[in-house]
């Protein structure tokens, strides 16, 4: 399949396909005229990549799973473990978002006249110290 055909079959842009190829997620042979020639099974592989991304997996995580997917019959336990890790990661993110939401709600309920984000505050730095965030971990949210 040429790049246009596989792009149409998967809904991915040609640039995305080239990017995946550069990252090693997709392989194409070169025909005599230099065009990329993708095997028919590339369509299913690209659908897997799209599904994995929808489930929250990064391209790096998908790349790490490449060896597992080469042997699908024996890789079920490892893939199950990858799904469990992703679920735990999402649960941790949700906890962080709940904490952040609580902090925002608390600040919304406070007197907004003293908020350092309001225009006209004379000592913004001092006010910011009064409004420092509590230990809310928002990394990777």
Domain spans in the chain, listed from the N-terminal domain onward: 1-64, 72-141
Q: Is the pLDDT of residue 75 over 90?
A: no
CATH 1.10.1660.10 corresponds to the domain 1-64: yes
Q: Is the pLDDT of residue 98 over 90?
A: yes
Tell me, yes or no, if the pTM score tops 0.75: no
103/89 Cα distance (integer angstroms): 21
Q: What mean pLDDT comes out for the span 78-97?
A: 92
The CA-based angle 56-57-58, given to 5 degrees, is: 115
What residues contact residue 4 under an 8 Å CB cut-off, 6+ apart?
A: 14
pLDDT of amino acid 82: 86
Q: What mean pLDDT comes out for the span 11-23?
A: 95
Q: Which two tokens stand for residue 121?
A: 């505050």
Task: Provide the terminal-to-terminal Cα distance of the chain, rounded to the nearest Å.
Answer: 38
Q: Where are the alpha helices (DSSP H) in 65-120?
A: 66-70, 76-109
Q: Is the pLDDT higher at 54 or at 140?
A: 54
Q: In whole numbers, what is the pLDDT of the chain averaged over residues?
A: 82
Q: Is the pLDDT of residue 15 over 90?
A: yes
Q: What mean pLDDT comes out for the span 59-78?
A: 78
């Amino acid at each position: 399949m040429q790049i246009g055909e596989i792009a149409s079959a998967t809904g991915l842009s040609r640039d995305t396909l080239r990017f995946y190829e550069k990252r090693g997620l997709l392989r194409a042979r070169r025909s005599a005229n230099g065009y990329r020639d993708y095997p028919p099974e590339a369509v299913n592989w690209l659908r897997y990549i799209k599904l994995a991304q929808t489930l929250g997996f990064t391209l790096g995580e998908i790349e790490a799973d490449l060896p597992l997917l080469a042997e699908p019959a024996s890789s079920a336990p490892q893939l199950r473990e990858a799904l469990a890790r992703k679920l735990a990661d999402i649960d941790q993110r949700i906890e962080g978002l709940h904490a952040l939401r609580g902090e925002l709600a608390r600040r919304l309920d406070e007197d907004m006249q003293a908020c350092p984000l309001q225009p006209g505050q004379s000592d913004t730095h001092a006010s910011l110290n009064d409004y420092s965030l509590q230990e809310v971990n928002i990394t990777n949210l």
